[in-house]
Amino acid sequence: MIEIEVKARAKADTEDRIRAIGATMLGTESHVDLYFNSSTRDFRKTDEALRIRIKGDGARLTYKGPKLDCDTKSRLERTVKIDNPSEMEKILVNLGFLPTVIVRKLRTKYSLGDVILALDDVEGLGLFLEVEAKSESDWLKQKEKVLSILSSLGLGESIRNSYLELLEREQRKNLDT
Amino acid sequence: MIEIEVKARAKADTEDRIRAIGATMLGTESHVDLYFNSSTRDFRKTDEALRIRIKGDGARLTYKGPKLDCDTKSRLERTVKIDNPSEMEKILVNLGFLPTVIVRKLRTKYSLGDVILALDDVEGLGLFLEVEAKSESDWLKQKEKVLSILSSLGLGESIRNSYLELLEREQRKNLDT
């Protein structure tokens, strides 16, 4: 499954504009995301991600492949639901993966057709909007759609960095000062 | 969790003797076990195992650490239930693990106190008995117990090889002839 995704810093009027374009609010989720790196290849260099997400309806293990283009965050994404995130973390450590950063956020989800809009309040980073579609094929068409939605919300500038990368950058900044 | 386990080739009278020592039959399960090796360290050398098991009540991912002694198969074992074994297999392949052998078996389970007796009819290998206990601590005491049960069934000779190793050995034999 290809996840087509764009992200931008949200503005004060973003929530109003999401409602104005006719998106339906789906609900709010609290996410705790534990990211891992590999001891044998640096995921920051290979542009991969391995994550355990804990949220209200259970936990999931997700692998994300390298990004597929230069202007969005579109990439291969594979997810399984797991019954025990703590045991999964221990298995990953036994297999040579290292926990790196925890990202905590409150996500408010909206749907607009087959597109999901996620307004994320990320601890330590602030408010962002992710616009996301999934595709088994023809992902370029879906890409046009998510870019157009982002633009119609007045959020032209797409950020390709993950919250993980943005948090790591913040941590480095704090270490330098 | 430490899994204390001994295994032996079953004999014609093993099932009768299991009942005779008062074990209770729990049921029969069909297992399809897909084993993986690592592309960066050979699990056959490090004595680790990584497995997706598919059985009637769902699928599980299991990691097993190196064996802890010289006379049983006792080892660290960690398991999580997963909702999608095929997606889990793809995640493992993306992370650099390689599917190696599929082990298919019919397991008939019995309980005797806190010990599980598993009579396994393994495709391509025949009939085996595994006697298994779990322990968070004091695993040596549990080890005495499982060895004593194996002996009381007239199955003195414990096999430390996994079905995976036994099947790989069979496959090599077939290649040599």
Go through B119-149 and write b for each residue having 16 or more CB atoms within 10 A of its CB, e for each that does not.
bbbbeebebbbbbbbebeeebeebbebbbeb
Q: Report chain B residues whose CB lies below 8 A from the CB of A84.
A: 80-81
Q: What is the pLDDT of residues A137-170, one digit of tens each?
A: 778 888 889 999 999 999 977 888 889 899 988 8
Q: Pick A91's closest partner by Cβ from B41, B63, B87.
A: B63
Say yes or no: B98 contacts chain A, CB-CB below 8 A.
Answer: no
pLDDT for B69 equals: 84
Q: What is the pLDDT of residues B101-144, one digit of tens each?
A: 999 999 999 999 999 999 999 999 999 999 999 887 778 888 88
CB contact under 8 A, B63 and A88: no
> Any idea which residues of B carry the catalytic annotation?
35
pLDDT for A172 equals: 84
Q: What is the pLDDT of residues A105-132, one digit of tens each?
A: 999 999 999 999 999 999 999 999 999 9
Q: What is the pLDDT of residues B43-59, one digit of tens each?
A: 999 999 999 999 989 99
Say yes or no: B158 contacts chain A, CB-CB below 8 A.
Answer: no
* Interface size, chain A vs chain B, as Cβ–Cβ contacts under 8 Å: 62
pLDDT for A157 equals: 78
| Rounded Cα gap, residues A170 and B163, in angstroms | 49
pLDDT for A36 equals: 97
Quickly count helices (H) and strands (E) in chain B: 5, 8
CB contact under 8 A, A81 and B82: yes
Q: Pick A79's closest partner by Cβ from B61, B63, B87.
A: B87
- Nearest Cα residue to A164 out of A43, A6, A1: A43
User: Over 90: is that where the pLDDT of B41 sits?
Assistant: yes
H or E segment and range at residue A12:
none
Average pLDDT over residues B159-174: 87
- Nearest Cα residue to B106 out of B32, B4, B40: B32
SS3 A94: helix
Q: Would you tell me which residues 36-75 of chain B have a C-beta closer than 8 angstroms to some C-beta of chain A?
A: 38, 40-41, 48, 50, 61, 63, 65
- Averaging pLDDT over each range in A3-7, A72-76, A164-168, B83-87, which range is the top one? B83-87
pLDDT for A87 equals: 98
CB contact under 8 A, B80 and A78: no
Q: Which residue of A has its CA nearest to B65?
A: A94
Structure tokens at A15: 């929530």
- Nearest Cα residue to B78 out of B129, B14, B134: B134
Calculate how close chain B gets to A87, using CA atoms only, in Å. 7
User: Over 80: is that where the pLDDT of B156 sits?
Assistant: no
Out of B80-84, B89-93, B170-174, least confident range? B170-174
